[in-house]
Amino acid sequence: MGTPPVTIYSSAWCGYCMRAKALLDSRGIAYKEIDVDGNRALREEMIARSGRRTVPQVFIGEHHVGGSDDLAAAARSGELDRLLGASARAAAERATEQSLSGDEDSHV
């Protein structure tokens, strides 16, 4: 199973966003970028998910990593790698549980 999806809410003018994307790029981590410039609905989505108004906001799967400084700290401490691995394992476990649930239902 691959790594979980990484999402970054950003703005084109934001130096911290560029720094966060550069960190992800340097580690070969693919991500989906959501540009919130001029898009109130996407900015509100970001705020609802993160509880924060500033960009960038980074997510690994549904786990909120935080902003650029939080991402850098996670990378330095090894937490970023653990989150990527833990999220992938959790997704695999959920898929296995769902498949087992489906099998049990079909035998009832």
Q: Which domains does the chain have, with CATH numbers?
A: 6-107 (3.40.30.10)
Run of H or E including 94 = helix 79-107
CA distances from 65 to 34, 75, 95, 108 (A): 15, 11, 23, 42
In this prediction the pTM is 0.78
pLDDT by position in tens, the chain (length 108) = 577 999 999 999 999 999 999 999 999 999 999 999 999 999 999 999 999 999 999 999 999 999 999 999 999 999 999 999 865 555 555 556 666 765 444 333
